[in-house]
Each structure stands twice: as structure tokens, then as C-alpha cells.
A = this chain, B = another copy of it.
Amino acid sequence: MLDFDPWWVVGFVDGEGCFSVSMHRNAMAKSTGGWQLHPAFHVYQHEEHGDVLEQLVITFGCGRIRAKGPNSKVSTFAVHSLVELSERVIPFFEQHPLIVKQNDFTLFAVIVRAMLRKEHLKREGFERLVKLAYAMNRGGKQRSRTLDEILMGSSETARQAPS
């Protein structure tokens, strides 16, 4: 068993971790233009040192380890569950603040907690959270869809819905 100082975990996550909120299509999510928010916490590592990720499962008491892709030699530790993010991951980083990824984490925590309160299921809440999500990770530069594309879907749906 490796002995992980919590600050080691913070430094490692500042290097190899990612707090993200991705956008997924879901035809059932009519009030939000067919879009859903998917928060996730990932940590990446070459499979050679996969034991480090197993230790993160112990540290956080949650999370799954998988290969990044079918032929990838990179493994990922991932937490997707809103409850696990809210009860395990977020409190850990509130007690041990990140340095590099603190801004992304702060927005991430706001989004996860708002989703637990179901704020994302109504258009206004959804739009607020999408804007926060797009402010994460260098202003969402790596996203395949613009903020306007997402919000346009949401607004169109709103206009079509009976008032």
C-alpha cells in the first residue's frame, strides 16, 4: 500500500487531473434543447503506473479505472456520479485547495451542487450552468460546439414550448 499525503494528491491532480463538464445529446431533455450536462473528474496516467490510480480509488472512496481508449496505454481514473462528486471529491479539494486548477474546480463544484438541486432541468438554470461550464478549462477552447450553439437549442425549445 502506498502512503499518499493529501497534498501529494492535490499536486498530482493539479498536474494530471481534469474537472470537466461535457455536453451530451439526449432527446429526452426537451426543456434544455436536447442537451445534458455531464460533470466528471478524471486523472490520467500511463498504464505503467496504474497503481497510482488504484490508490486514488482508495483515497476518494469512489471512481473507476479504465483505459483511455481501445489502444491507449493511458489509464484514467474517473468519477461521474453527482453524489460521489458531491460527497467525496469536492469536500476533499475544499479541505485541500488546488493551485493550478482551483478556478476550474470552483466552477465545477457550483455546477455539481446546482445539478443535485435539479437546477439544470429548467431552462434558466441550464443556461446559467452551461455558461459556467464554458468558462472552465481556458474558456472552453477545446469544445466542439460553441456556447451559442448550445444555448440556441435551449432557447429554440423554450420558444416552441407553450408559455
Contacts and interface: CB of A to CB of B under 8 A. Distances in A.
Categorize the interface residue count of chain A. 20 to 34
A5 B4 contact: no
Given A45-B100, A49-B100, A11 B15 contact: yes
Interface of A: 2, 4-17, 45-46, 48-49, 52, 99-100, 138
**Identical copies of this chain, number:** 2
Given A9-B11, A11-B10, A52 B16 contact: no
Contacts of A45: 100
19 contacts: A2-B99, A4-B99, A5-B7, A7-B8, A8-B11, A8-B14, A8-B99, A11-B11, A11-B12, A11-B13, A11-B14, A12-B14, A12-B100, A15-B16, A15-B17, A16-B16, A48-B138, A49-B100, A52-B100
